[in-house]
Amino acid sequence: FDCPVNLVFVNKKMELVTNTAVNKCLKQLCGKLGITEITCHGLRHTHASILLYKGVSINYLSRRLGHDSVLTTMRVYTHILDELAQRDSETTDAAMDDLFQVAK
């Protein structure tokens, strides 16, 4: 599909649609599928969260989301960054355990 505009949500005339229109459509689709409703903002947040969990840098993500500052991104996603720090700590502990096993 070759799209003449660089937009995700457009109408049949390839024009930008409102956030309300997108949310209304998402609500209908979620209802048809029998899944939990999600808003466009929720999709954005989910997208960003997945990228963080996959190891995308906070600097890149901040630019991708259009935040004025990486501090904004860090504040919004602090709960995920805390989880990632815990995972990093466990990975570091395991690496050090492996290192000491080899040394014995």
Residue pLDDT, tens place only, 14-48: 888 899 999 999 999 999 999 999 999 999 999 99
**Does residue 5 lie in a domain region?**
no
pLDDT of residue 5: 62
Please tell me whether residue 71 adopts helix, strand or coil conformation. helix
Instruction: Quote the distance between the C-alpha of residue 32 and its chain's center.
Output: 25
Total domains, the chain: 1
CA angle 66, 69, 73 (to 5 degrees): 75
In a domain, 21, yes or no: no
Residue 89 has pLDDT above 90, yes or no: yes
Query: Domain for residue 45, yes or no?
Result: no
pLDDT of residue 13: 87
| Model pLDDT, residue 85 | 95
Give the structural domain span for 74. 56-103
Q: pTM of the full predicted structure?
A: 0.74
66 within a domain of the structure (yes/no): yes
pLDDT at 100: 87
Residue 61 tokens, joined: 């993500």
